[in-house]
Amino acid sequence: MASKANGYHHGNLRAELLMAAMDILDESGIEAVTIRQVARRVGVGHSAPANHFPHKQALLTQLAINIFNELGSLIKSQLQSAPEDVSEKISLLANTLVEFGLAKPNQYRLLWRRDYLDNSSEELNCAMDIIYDELLATLASSKKSKVSVESKAIALWSMIQGYVTMRIDGNLEAKNDEVSGQERQQAIIEVLLRGILS
Amino acid sequence: MASKANGYHHGNLRAELLMAAMDILDESGIEAVTIRQVARRVGVGHSAPANHFPHKQALLTQLAINIFNELGSLIKSQLQSAPEDVSEKISLLANTLVEFGLAKPNQYRLLWRRDYLDNSSEELNCAMDIIYDELLATLASSKKSKVSVESKAIALWSMIQGYVTMRIDGNLEAKNDEVSGQERQQAIIEVLLRGILS
DNA sequence: GAATTAATATGGACACTGTCAATTTAATGA
DNA sequence: TCATTAAATTGACAGTGTCCATATTAATTC
C-alpha cells in the first residue's frame, strides 16, 4: 500500500497491520486473527509485528480501541440530528448500538472479549466510557424516579449488550416465533423504556 | 479416582475427563482447558480423550450441557419454594441467574461462548431452552400488555446475560459509584420489572 | 560527509496446541 | 481359544505466540 517501497523497511507497517487484522476479523472472526496470518497478508516476516506490538494482546487492544472510537463517533453524529424527545433519543441510541452490532458482528464481539484485551489499558477504557457517558447524558434528562440514572444506564447498556450478543450468536433464532428481528428489537427497547420513564 | 486400576484401560475416563475439564475451567478459565492438559491431569496419554470426544468442541459442548442442566435444576428448585407474587417470582429467577454467574464466572462464560461449542447440538439447545422456558412460564402469568410475553422474556434474558457478562469481566467496576453490586443488581431488575408489569 | 546509534526487518528455534495415524493392550463374545 | 472390538499408547504434523541472534536501513551525531 502506502509503503516506502524500499524493500526492507516498510514505512507504514503499524497502520497496515491494523488494517489487515481488521479485515481478517471481519471476514473470519477473532480466532482467525493470528500474528502470523496478519503478517503474511501484509507480506512481511512473522516476527515483524513484534516491533510495533509487543504481544498479540496489544494489537487486539488497539483494534478494539479503534472500533470503540468509530462506534462513538457514529453515536455522536446520530444524536446531533436527533429529536428533542427523551424517549426517542434513548431509542435512537439503543438502535444505533444494536444495528452496529448486527452489521459488524465480529467487531462488536471483540469489544466484549476482555480475555483477548488488555483490561488495564486507559485508552481502551476511555474509548468505552465515551459511549457509556453518552448513554448517561441522554438518560439524565429523563424523569427522576426512585431508580438512579446510573442504574437505568446499566440496565440499558446490559440489555443491549446481551441482546446483540445473543442475536449475532444465533441464540435467539429459535425464539423469534413469527416476529421479525426488527419488531423484537423495537419491542424490548420499549419494555425497558417503559421501566425507565415510569 | 473410580478407575478400574488395571493400568491400561481406565474404565471411567469419559466422566473423569469432564470432571478434570470442569476443574481447570473453574480454576483458570476456558483458555486453559486444553485436551492435553485435561489428559495430563487425569494421568492419561494426550490422545486418549479422542476415544470419548472426537474433538475438543465435543468435550466443551458436553461441559456446557452439564452446566446448563445444573443451572436449570437450581432454578427449578428455587421456584418451587417461591412466593405466589409474579414480580417476586421474576425477581427471584433473575437473581438466581445473576448469582450463579457471579459465583461461577468461568462456567457461566462458557454457556455463551458459542464459538467454542457445537451450536447444532440438540442436547445443548434443549438444556438452554429449559431455562428459557422457565422464564417464559413465569412471565406468562404477568399482566397482558401491548408487548408480547416473548419480548418480555428476551428483554429480561438479554439484560441478565449482558449484566452478568459485564460484571464478571469487570466492565462495571468503574461505574458502580457508591452503590454496591447487590443494590445495583436489585435496581436494574426493578427497572425492567416496572416495564414488564406496566 | 562519515561514523555511530537506533529502529525495523529477517529467519530459526522453542514449547505449546489439536488432530491424525499406526501400534499396543485388554476386554468381549462366538 | 481365538478373532474382534474397544480403548489406550507413542509419534508425527502443521499451526500458534514469543524469544533470539542477525541483517538491513534510517536517523543522529561528530
User: pLDDT tens-digit profile of B140-192?
Assistant: 988 888 899 999 999 999 999 999 999 999 888 777 666 788 899 999 999 99
Residue A92 has pLDDT above 90, yes or no: yes
- The reported pLDDT for the residue numbered A1 is 38
Would you give the end-to-end CA distance of chain A in angstroms? 55
Measure the CA–CA gap between B34 and B25, rounded to whole angstroms.
10
- The reported pLDDT for the residue numbered B10 is 79
The number of C-alpha atoms within 13 Å of A16 and in the hemisphere containing its C-beta is: 17
Nucleotides of C under 7 A from a protein CB: 7-13, 16-22, 25-27
Q: Which residue is closest to B167 within chain A, CA to CA?
A: A158
- The reported pLDDT for the residue numbered B7 is 64
Residue A178 has pLDDT above 80, yes or no: no
| Inter-residue contact A95 to A185 (CB < 8 Å) | yes
Interatomic CA–C1' length for residue A9 and nucleotide D24, angstroms? 8
Measure the CA–CA gap between B168 and B106, rounded to whole angstroms.
9
Nucleotides of D under 7 A from a protein CB: 6-12, 15-21, 24-26
Nearest nt to the A51 alpha carbon by C1': C8
Which chain B residues in 15-74 lie under 8 Å from chain A, judged by CB atoms? 29-31
> Of how many residues is chain A composed?
198
Residue B42 has pLDDT above 50, yes or no: yes
Residue B2 has pLDDT above 80, yes or no: no
Tell me how close the Cα of B13 comes to any Cα of chain A, in angstroms.
30
* DSSP-based three-state secondary structure for B131: helix
Q: What is the mean pLDDT of residues A97-117?
A: 96
Closest residue to D15 (CA, C1′): A36
Tell me how close the Cα of A198 comes to any Cα of chain B, in angstroms.
7
Which of A41-44's residues contact partners 24+ apart within 8 Å by CB, and which partners? A42/A10, A42/A13, A42/A16, A42/A17, A44/A10, A44/A13
Per residue in B51-63, pLDDT (tens digit) is 999 999 999 999 9
Name the nearest CA neighbour of B189 among A140, A155, A194. Answer: A155
A77 — contact with chain B (CB < 8 Å)? no
| Inter-residue contact A159 to B122 (CB < 8 Å) | no
- The reported pLDDT for the residue numbered A35 is 98
Nearest nt to the A11 alpha carbon by C1': C8
B178 — contact with chain A (CB < 8 Å)? no
- The reported pLDDT for the residue numbered B179 is 79
Strand D within 7 A of A46 CB: yes
Interatomic CA–C1' length for residue A13 and nucleotide C8, angstroms? 10
Measure the CA–CA gap between A180 and A174, rounded to whole angstroms.
12
Q: Residues of B from 29 to 58 whose C-beta is within 7 A of strand D: which are they?
A: 39, 44-48, 50-52
Residue A125 with chain B: CB contacts under 8 Å: 174
Residues A9-27 as b or e (16 or more Cβ within 10 Å = b): ebeebeebbbbbbbebbee
Q: Report CA Rg, chain A.
A: 20
What value, to the nearest 5°, has the Cα angle with vertex A108 and ends A86 and A124? 85
Measure the CA–CA gap between B114 and B60, rounded to whole angstroms.
10
Reported pTM: 0.93
Nearest nt to the B43 alpha carbon by C1': D8
C-alpha cell at B144: 397482558
Residue A4 has pLDDT above 60, yes or no: no
Which class for B77: exposed (0-12), middle (13-18), buried (19 or more C-beta within 10 A)?
exposed
A150/B192 CB distance under 8 A: no
B147/A187 CB distance under 8 A: yes
- The reported pLDDT for the residue numbered A170 is 85
- The reported pLDDT for the residue numbered B6 is 59
Interatomic CA–C1' length for residue B17 and nucleotide D16, angstroms? 25
Q: Which residue is closest to B194 within chain A, CA to CA?
A: A195
Q: What's the pLDDT band for B1 if we cut at 50, 70, 90?
A: very low
- The reported pLDDT for the residue numbered B129 is 95
| Inter-residue contact A175 to B132 (CB < 8 Å) | yes
A158/B162 CB distance under 8 A: yes
Residue A93 has pLDDT above 60, yes or no: yes
Tell me how close the Cα of A158 comes to any Cα of chain B, in angstroms.
4
Please provide the average confidence, as pLDDT, over all residues in chain A: 93
